Amino acid sequence: MSSLDNNPYSYQQSWAERNGFAHWAIVMIWLVLAFLLFQVVAGFVFVGLMFISGEFTDTSNIAELMTSRIDLLFIGNSAGQILFIGLATFIVTRLHTAGEGVRDYLRLGWGQDTLKYILFGGLLILVAQPIVIYLGFLNSLLPVPEFFTDLQVGQYEMIQQFLTMEGILLFGLINVALVPAICEEVLFRGYVLRSFEKSWGIIAAIVVSSIVFGLFHIQLGNIIPLATLGAVLALMTWLSGSIWPAVVAHFLNNGAAVVAGINFPELMFQDMTAEALPPVWVLLVSIVLSVILIVTMFRHSTYTE
């Protein structure tokens, strides 16, 4: 009996998987639709909440309201993510499943090594932060169209204003860390990674799904660190055979940013310059520890055979 026969996450081919172009096209179409529908729902929920609160009277002041009621904007954002990036992806995934079902396709199972990989993944995402910071600095040196630069600056200013609100910690952890950690992992490290893996193999799947993950955030000025984080999350998902280590690592990454943004805004939102980078020795330690953790995960994995 082959190792694939013993793998609880092996699966039969569905119609979409037997037809390569159709399979790839369905994935890309859903990524575009999920992004658009998520944005539409976020907008409708925000406007609805503004009507309920009595603050929305006409469309002329909607831009001003978006900056004054960022809390409602984040509620709308979370609603869109839950409905279309998370829940609707389960429905779409049925197009790509056969005998094993949605749960196995998305790697939602919990194995005997899952907790161990949650520990490995959590440590990796934390020790890799200096690498991410340096990659962000390198990304900032690349030319980016002014439209995307202005968009990213606007996003950062909105998040900074949001995190300076009184008593925002729990609300921020839920809307900035918990909801994206679950929904984005279901979409990218669950559906997209598995689908591309079936079409092109795991290496191409990790690379492509990570680039798509970076592009999905519409931050060209930050796409290199975003794609790198996506690759790390994809790697730990494949090695562990479960999506949950990536979910926890994603939550830790975003949650740490929320805590840092609330307590140390002058550091979190400062301009990206060479003087603001951590010392080089911190970068070297980060690289060494990250390599050690990745090698350790490879050695413990039963999904690479």
**Structure confidence by residue, pLDDT tens digits, 123-136:** 999 999 999 999 99
Residue in this structure with the two tokens 């309201």, named with its chain if needed? 65
What tens digit of pLDDT does each residue of 107-122 get? 999 988 999 999 999 9
Predicted local confidence at residue 100, as pLDDT: 63
What tens digit of pLDDT does each residue of 4-30 get? 444 444 444 444 445 555 677 888 899
**58 pLDDT tier (thresholds 50, 70, 90):** low
Of 34-43, 153-162, 184-193, least confident by mean pLDDT is: 153-162
**Domain limits for position 25:** 3-300
- Tally of domains within the chain: 1
Q: Within a domain: residue 235? A: yes
Q: Within a domain: residue 145? A: yes
Nearest partner of 103 among 16, 177, 18, 11, judged by Cα? 11
Q: Within a domain: residue 189? A: yes
Predicted local confidence at residue 191, as pLDDT: 95
Q: Within a domain: residue 250? A: yes
Whole-model pTM above 0.85? yes
Mean pLDDT value across residues 228-252: 96
Predicted local confidence at residue 241, as pLDDT: 93
**208 pLDDT tier (thresholds 50, 70, 90):** very high
Q: Within a domain: residue 305? A: no
Q: Within a domain: residue 245? A: yes
Greater confidence, 55 or 47? Answer: 47
Spell out the SS3 assignment of the chain: CCHHHHCCCCCCCCHHHHCHHHHHHHHHHHHHHHHHHHHHHHHHHHHHHHHHHCCCCCHHHHHHHHHHCHHHHHHHHHHHHHHHHHHHHHHHHHHHCCCCHHHHHCCCCCCCCHHHHHHHHHHHHHHCHHHHHHHHHHHHCCCCCHHHHHHHHHHHHHHHHHHCCCCCHHHHHHHHHHHHHHHHHHHHHHHHHHHHHHHHCHHHHHHHHHHHHHHHCCCHHHHHHHHHHHHHHHHHHHHHCCCHHHHHHHHHHHHHHHHHHHHCHHHHCCCCCHHHCCCHHHHHHHHHHHHHHHHHHHHHCCCCC
Note whether 298 and 202 are within 8 A (CB).
no
Greater confidence, 48 or 174? Answer: 174
Predicted local confidence at residue 155, as pLDDT: 78
Does pLDDT of 304 surpass 80?
Answer: no
Token pair of 233, please? 């999350």
